[in-house]
């Protein structure tokens, strides 16, 4: 479950899938992976290092500092390079200076950062979200339709449908369900039942797994409702989310999520997906709504999993299910809150008057939902979801979504 932002990856649910750490070296476009001696690497410019990464048939561990590879395995770098090539085509140019660069491909571009040591080896690397070359809405939608598995896309302008692909299909959306939590919180605040400045103390029962930071904070830490909401949206903090669900009451959030009853906390989600709790999952699957609520009463006594156990798609019937049309409706209830703009996701805030974003990801699940305010006075909502029983090509999906946003930007600037 996750969200997307221009920062490194995190664990699901709530992981930020758009950015990654990795990069490579090259002395010339025709170089083979092992053709440069160590001394020659010292003379490589960062741009040449990036170029070699995408020109070589295979990567060499010698191109990376040992401390880099202890954090990012070579296989992960190779996977990222492969996904970028598949999504955007052949590398055509590398532009930039210092540590900041822009990689231009046949079908788009990627912002990148790279740091080399004094031996020309990579010690730091970052790729931002792919920026696909803008196409028309019809062509962009056709590209989404080519993805394997189940896909849903909706584009609205001022509430009117501009483009749609299976927009009413309920799919798993990971952390995008947190829009419903925020909508429930705002409703109670506007009704005078609560205030953004209300302070609560962190309880042990609210602690979940990452993404987020609050799971590591001391029990009893004072937190305002606004802080919890801002962390839930901008960092997709799972502990902040569970805190708000407990404070508001599960039923208050379910009013904005009629299909998801009972609505799971992230801790319940993780616990039910833990292979060690297989009996609990089977009881949950077999029960009706009342029976499922009874099963959830047993969750606090069961262990959370090691996050590594959930690195592949598992129990995909267990998630939060929304259509892209429902997500755009939820976004419409909260998009004007300033906290919605802290993490812009894939969109470039410089292209729009206002950006509000929430996404979600877990193995086999991706969603990106963005509200955009354009200079011409129009408001847009763009929501896209991808579900598949196999590992997803994250970068391909971000590239397609970026192309959709660029097409809208061109449309919004048209006379």
pLDDT reading at 35 higher than 80: no
pLDDT tens track for 363-382 = 999 999 999 999 888 999 99
Q: Which of 310, 335, 363 is the last residue of a domain?
A: 310
Residues, the chain, total? 415
Residue 37 has a pLDDT of 38
Task: Mark whether 81 and 150 lie in a shared domain.
Answer: no
Look at the block and give the residue holding tokens 């991706």. Answer: 366
Same domain for 334 and 251, yes or no, is: no
pTM: 0.81
Distance, CA of 155 to chain centre: 19
Q: Residue 213, Cα to own-chain centre: how many angstroms?
A: 16
What is the number of domains present in the chain?
3
User: What are the φ/ψ torsions at residue 152 (nearest 5 degrees)?
Assistant: -135, 135
Q: Is the domain of 250 the same as that of 289?
A: yes
* Domain membership flag for residue 82: yes
Whether residues 165 and 95 share a domain: the answer is no
Whether the CB-CB separation of 101 and 112 falls below 8 Å is answered with yes
Segment 29-43 shows an average pLDDT of: 38
- Per the domain annotation, does 210 fall within a domain? yes
pLDDT of 42: 60
Judgement on whether residues 97 and 60 belong to the same structural domain of the protein: yes
Q: Is 229 domain-assigned? A: yes
Q: Which of 310, 345, 360 marks a domain boundary? A: 310
Enclosing domain of residue 333:
137-172+321-413
Q: Determine what percent of the chain is predicted with pLDDT higher than 90.
A: 74
Q: Of 253, 276, 310, which residue is a domain's last?
A: 310
Whether 23 maps to a domain, the answer reads: no
Say whether both 117 and 147 belong to one domain.
no
Q: Could you tell me the CATH number of the domain that includes residue 165?
A: 3.40.710.10
Instruction: Note whether residue 222 is domain-resident.
Output: yes
């Amino acid at each position: 479950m996750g969200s997307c932002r221009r920062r490194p990856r995190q664990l699901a649910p709530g992981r930020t899938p758009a950015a990654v750490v990795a990069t490579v070296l090259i002395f010339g476009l025709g170089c083979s992976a092992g053709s440069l001696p160590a001394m020659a690497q010292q003379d490589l410019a960062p741009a040449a290092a990036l170029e070699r990464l995408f020109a070589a048939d295979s990567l060499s561990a010698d191109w990376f500092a040992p401390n880099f590879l202890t954090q990012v395995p070579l296989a992960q770098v190779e996977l990222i390079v492969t996904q970028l090539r598949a999504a955007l085509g052949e590398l055509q140019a590398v532009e930039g200076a210092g540590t900041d660069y822009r990689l231009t491909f046949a079908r788009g571009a990627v912002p990148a950062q790279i740091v080399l040591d004094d031996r020309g080896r990579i010690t730091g690397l970052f790729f931002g979200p792919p920026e696909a070359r803008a196409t028309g809405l019809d062509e962009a939608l056709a590209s989404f339709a080519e993805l394997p598995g189940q896909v849903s896309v909706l584009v609205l302008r001022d509430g009117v449908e501009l483009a749609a692909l299976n927009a009413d299909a309920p799919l798993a959306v990971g952390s995008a369900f947190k829009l419903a939590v925020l909508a429930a919180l705002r409703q109670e605040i506007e009704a005078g039942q609560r205030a953004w400045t209300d302070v609560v103390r962190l309880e042990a029962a609210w602690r979940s797994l990452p993404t987020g930071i609050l799971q590591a904070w001391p029990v009893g830490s004072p937190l305002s409702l606004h802080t919890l909401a801002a962390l839930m949206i901008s960092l997709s903090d799972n502990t902040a989310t569970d805190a708000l669900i407990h404070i508001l009451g599960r039923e208050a959030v379910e009013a904005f999520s009629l299909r998801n009853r009972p609505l799971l906390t992230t801790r319940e989600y993780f616990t039910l997906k833990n292979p060690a709790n297989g009996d609990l999952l089977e009881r949950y699957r077999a029960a009706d709504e009342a029976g499922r609520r009874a099963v959830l009463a047993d969750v606090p006594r069961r262990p959370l999993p090691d996050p590594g156990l959930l690195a592949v798609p598992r129990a995909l019937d267990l998630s939060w299910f929304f259509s892209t049309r429902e997500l755009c409706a939820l976004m419409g209830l909260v998009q004007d809150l300033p906290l919605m703009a802290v993490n812009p996701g894939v969109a470039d805030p410089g292209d729009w008057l206002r950006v509000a974003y929430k996404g979600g990801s877990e193995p086999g699940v991706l969603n990106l939902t963005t509200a955009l305010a354009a200079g011409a006075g129009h408001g847009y909502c763009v929501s896209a979801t991808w579900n598949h029983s196999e590992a997803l090509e994250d970068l391909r999906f971000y590239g397609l979504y970026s192309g959709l946003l660029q097409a809208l930007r061109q449309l919004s600037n048209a006379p």
